[in-house]
Amino acid sequence: MPRPHRPVRKNSASRGARPADTGGRATRGRRPSTPVSTDGPVLELDVERIAHGGIAVAHHEGRVVFVADAIPGERVSARVTDAAHTRFWRADTLEVLTASADRQAHVWAEASVDRAPERRAGGAEFGHIAPERQRALKAEVLTDALRRMGGVEREVEVRAVDPELAPGVRADGTGWRTRVRLQVAEDGAVGPYAARSHTVVPVASLPLAVDELADLAPLADRFQGARTIDLVAPSGADPQVIVTDESERMPRGQRPVTTEVVGDRRFAVDRDGFWQVHRGAAATLSRAVQELIDADRFDPRAANLDLYGGVGLLAAAVGDRFGETVRITSVESDERATMHAGDNLAEWVGARAVTARVDRYLASLEADAGQGERARLRDATVVLDPPRSGAGRDVVDRLAALRPRQLVYVACDPVALARDIGLLRAHGYELEELQAFDLFPNTHHVEAVARLAAIV
């Protein structure tokens, strides 16, 4: 059993580069609550499908209604909360009139449809849906995005994480979050934001968190003058509760470093830096990247690249599969992450870590590479794991101009992935394989790993 930590109150001398990851960026100062109508009209709606973002779609008198906390096939009573748009409205489910066979008691009581919408905790928007149906809905969204934006007809299966890679994670999709951010209200009360709001909701439980964080969470305490409470449970270090004061500003001084373990390998990472949040995510993605690289196309002596490389997780996965002769450059804009990547990849003589924006790094390769280096780039395998917004047109254009043999693209947003696949197809790359994983159970998020190859 990990040794519990007393809350650490951070000040300007100890702040990390970025907050414990909960799917969003840090904000400076407390954000105002989002106004939500509580007196809009109540409609009876037949729910048709799930849209990107996890909101169900219905129609009322020809207008699209995006309704929260519903499942396709249900009939619900929902209150309109936003009617400002002419083409669509937004609504919250108040009562389920005809329930889906896949509706279950919400895994997080504080997010249940039984509570008033403005008091429902955010961050578990699929928690009322049976796990198998959750994965099926995510597959539908990814399949639809690939067809509409990528021009690809492909049936997708979203897999549950292998239990061997995620000890302690339960079959109902709880007990997986190793990093959780809680907000602090004006009166010092602690909790998550309400769904689709910046109102802090006090809660008595954190079922998505790994057990050691759920046990440590100071949910009944008051933190007057604090801004956020970060709960962090690295796989290679003790769990911690970290309090960030309202007065905290830019980071100064030494940043705390922790250790994450994937298989037999240890990775140094800033405690407040980016790391995959699901207990089994790093191992799952490492394995997927290893499986999707086509060994017949892989040249260990080529100018292989790991773009948006972080602390070197996926570059290490490539090295572990193909051996000590692998040549690979990990490119990351965060200087601290690059520093750790250099240490984490030190055993490979041909590995190096570069601090640079990916678009600028690719532009410099295109401008400065000699004939020999261009040939090594054409023989290369490129792994890329961009942020939620995807790589985008500029990076895709520059990458395609270098013409690497194969690309292995790790994505946490189905629409961004599909858009970039469409852009790559226009440059003569085709999608060959795709794996998708439920790395965010009880939410709408899904992770996918795709291999694309240059078609001669």
**How confident is the model at residue 36, as a pLDDT?**
54
What is the β-pairing status of strands 381-384 and 406-411? parallel
- Measured distance CA(245)–CA(226) in Å, rounded: 4
**How confident is the model at residue 9, as a pLDDT?**
53
Residue-wise pLDDT for 443-452, tens only, equals 999 999 999 9
From the list 146, 200, 412, 423, the catalytic residue is: 412
CATH no. for 136-165+262-454? 3.40.50.150
**How confident is the model at residue 252, as a pLDDT?**
53
Helix %, strand %, coil % of the chain (to 5): 25, 25, 50
Comparing CA positions, the residue from 414, 258, 383 lying closest to residue 308 is: 383
**How confident is the model at residue 37, as a pLDDT?**
58
Please report which helix (H) or strand (E) contains residue 430, including its range.
strand 429-437
Check whether 361 is labelled as a binding-site residue: no
Please report which helix (H) or strand (E) contains residue 179, including its range.
strand 179-184
Pairwise pLDDT comparison (161 vs 5), residue with the higher score: 161
- Measured distance CA(262)–CA(165) in Å, rounded: 9
pLDDT band at residue 172 under the 50/70/90 scheme: very high
Assign 410 to helix, strand or coil: strand
Cβ burial 138-160 (10 Å sphere, 16+ → b, else e): bbebbbbbbeebbebeeebebeb
Active site residue 412: yes
On average, the pLDDT of the chain sits at: 91
**How confident is the model at residue 248, as a pLDDT?**
66
Q: Is the CATH number 2.40.50.140 carried by domain 42-124?
A: yes
**pTM for the model:** 0.91
Return all residues near 123 (Cβ < 8 A) that are at least 6 apart: 22, 23, 111, 192, 193, 195, 208, 443
Comparing CA positions, the residue from 426, 385, 377 lying closest to residue 406 is: 377
Residue-wise pLDDT for 49-68, tens only, equals 999 999 999 999 999 999 99
**How confident is the model at residue 7, as a pLDDT?**
61
Where does CATH 3.40.50.150 sit in the chain? 136-165+262-454
Check whether 359 is labelled as a binding-site residue: no
Residue-wise pLDDT for 226-264, tens only, equals 999 999 999 999 999 999 987 765 455 578 999 999 999
What is the β-pairing status of strands 328-332 and 351-355? parallel
Check whether 379 is labelled as a binding-site residue: no
Query: Can you tell me the mean pLDDT for 176-192?
Result: 96
Where does CATH 2.40.50.140 sit in the chain? 42-124
**How confident is the model at residue 253, as a pLDDT?**
57
Comparing CA positions, the residue from 203, 159, 213 lying closest to residue 5 is: 213
Pairwise pLDDT comparison (7 vs 100), residue with the higher score: 100
**How confident is the model at residue 373, as a pLDDT?**
86
- Measured distance CA(367)–CA(361) in Å, rounded: 10
- Measured distance CA(274)–CA(338) in Å, rounded: 12
User: Which DSSP category does 119 fall into?
Assistant: G
Residue-wise pLDDT for 348-402, tens only, equals 999 999 999 999 999 999 888 888 888 999 999 999 999 999 999 999 999 999 9
Residue-wise pLDDT for 195-229, tens only, equals 888 999 999 999 999 999 999 999 999 999 999 99
Beta bridge partners of 63: 60
Check whether 409 is labelled as a binding-site residue: no
- Measured distance CA(346)–CA(339) in Å, rounded: 11
**How confident is the model at residue 247, as a pLDDT?**
74
- Measured distance CA(307)–CA(289) in Å, rounded: 13
Whether 14 shows a pLDDT value over 80: the answer reads no
Residue-wise pLDDT for 292-320, tens only, equals 999 999 999 999 999 999 999 999 999 99
